[in-house]
Amino acid sequence: MASQPNRRKDDADQGRRGSGRGRGSRRGSGRGSRGTTSGSQGNSRSESSVAPSSGCIDSERARRGGRKSNSLCSEFQVSGGCTRGSRCKFSHKLHEISDVPTLSKQNFERTVETAEQIEISNKSRTKYRSWKRLIKSHPKPNDIRTVEILWQGALEILDGEDRDSKQMVARDLESDEFHGREHIRVLLEMTTHTYDAAIFVELVRPFLYVITHQAFLDCLSIDTCVGNLYNFISGSNGSRAMPFFKSLMANLLETYDFSGAHAKENIERTMIAISACLRELARRERRVLFHDEFPDIVTSLENSVGVVGVDRTSAAFSIIPSRTQELRGMIARAHGLLYQENQPQVLDASTTVIQSTYPREIILPNGRHDNDEMDITDIRILPTEDEIRSEAIEFLPSTDPDQPHFLVDSAARLLDTHFRLLRHDIFWRIKVFSWWSHSCH
């Protein structure tokens, strides 16, 4: 009998253990289902979110586990470097990551190329800082060496690769905190009584290259600074610029008389720079066009092409005549506008000449002799005997487009007018000689 209660107790213990296992399996299955659900949610989140989020999770796991993550460092992916160094929990090796975006690899390669230019950029900035020290101090009188280093250094910066340094040249020259304008004044007011012509031209040449440099003129962010510098170079209505360019042209032609082949090439380049500077000066400072010496300087520059003997294959042979013609047009338009503005006005009435609208008789070229035709294609070039002996007044059309004409088309009228006037200028002497010989008989 005692054995039966023992068996019942054992069966009860086994049942409790079995039920415990069932509850445990149910809990486990519940965890598994929740894990599957959370896993699917995690996948959906990872597809809709950015990649570095997984890197952060891996980083946390790696931090806890004391190992590095296989994910690529986001900072290294963008810049090619990492500020955390060896402490970073992410990978810094591109070849270990198979799913790295192609754009990131391109960015990495681009940063490597940029890194190779860091040394060049540092050299440019070092050169700029040394140049900037020159304009921080007042110019000294008769200091040719400073003038040479200043403008040659500015030219080297503009020819360099560092964009920021290029823009700072114009800003520093124009800034009131430095003495760039005083250095410009020293060069503009320099005379050849102290320095000979060759030295003067050599000092001025880099200055012209600087103020006409493409990086100096074509940058919109510094255009205001450049405009202020040209305003200072011009002076009041060109009072500072015109004597400078007049002296420069005289010294340039004097230098040519004692120059060789290499110096001739530099002279041609200087002439091109002068033409560019005059054009830019006239474009930015319109009052320069009214200076009395400006047309003479343009004429001197135009004649210098023949004096120097510029080769026809040279760039100066085509550039300088084109720019001098452009400058003459600007001068003519400026003076024409000034003339129209200065016309007197009487009681607010216009003084413009009013053309008469009264109908005029249109004279037709037809019937005077056997070679008098309306269509110029029917007119024989050489005058006929009947035309020579005719005493009728020859038809000569007016060149005034406001005058009436039998042709309506302006192009046909222009061609008709020039043909008849040119033919008259060539053969009128034959008709006069015929009349004179007839009167003598």
44-53, 211-220, 419-428 — most confident range:
211-220
Higher-confidence residue of 180 and 85: namely 180
Q: State the pLDDT at residue 348.
A: 45
| Interatomic CA distance for residues 114 and 164, integer angstroms | 16
Q: State the pLDDT at residue 34.
A: 43
Q: State the pLDDT at residue 30.
A: 43
For the residues 252-272, what does the mean pLDDT come to?
80
Q: State the pLDDT at residue 101.
A: 46
Angle of CA points 330, 334, 340, to nearest 5°? 145
Max CA separation in the chain (angstroms): 185
Higher-confidence residue of 254 and 210: namely 210
Q: Is the pLDDT of residue 135 over 80?
A: yes
In this structure, of 95-109, 243-257, 411-425, the range with the lowest mean pLDDT score is: 95-109
Half-sphere exposure (Cβ direction) of 279: Cα atoms closer than 13 Å: 19
Q: Is the pLDDT of residue 81 over 50?
A: yes
Q: Are 204 and 187 in contact (CB under 8 A)?
A: yes
Q: Is the pLDDT of residue 8 over 70?
A: no
Q: State the pLDDT at residue 361.
A: 52
Please provide the distance, in angstroms rounded to a whole number, between the alpha carbons at the two ends of the chain.
Answer: 185
Q: State the pLDDT at residue 109.
A: 46
pLDDT tens digits for range 336-363 = 765 444 444 444 444 444 444 444 455 6
Percent of the chain topping pLDDT 90:
30
Q: State the pLDDT at residue 362.
A: 57
Q: Is the pLDDT of residue 31 over 90?
A: no
Q: State the pLDDT at residue 156.
A: 93
**389 pLDDT band (50/70/90 cuts)?**
confident
For the residues 281-299, what does the mean pLDDT come to?
92
Q: Is the pLDDT of residue 161 over 70?
A: yes
Q: Are 281 and 234 in contact (CB under 8 A)?
A: yes
For the residues 232-253, what does the mean pLDDT come to?
92
**112 pLDDT band (50/70/90 cuts)?**
very low
Residues 6+ apart with CB under 8 A from 180: 135, 172, 173, 174
Q: How many CB atoms lie within 10 A of CB 362?
A: 9
For the residues 7-36, what does the mean pLDDT come to?
46
For the residues 394-415, what does the mean pLDDT come to?
80
Q: Is the pLDDT of residue 171 over 90?
A: yes
Higher-confidence residue of 257 and 416: namely 416
| Interatomic CA distance for residues 125 and 127, integer angstroms | 5
Mean pLDDT (the chain) is 75
Q: State the pLDDT at residue 53.
A: 43
Q: Is the pLDDT of residue 423 over 70?
A: yes
6-10, 186-190, 195-199 — most confident range:
186-190
Domain residues of the chain, as ranges? 1-49, 51-116, 123-341, 376-440
Whether the model pTM is above 0.85: no
Q: Is the pLDDT of residue 44 over 50?
A: no
| C-alpha distances out from residue 25 to 30, 38, 215, 359, Å | 8, 19, 78, 118
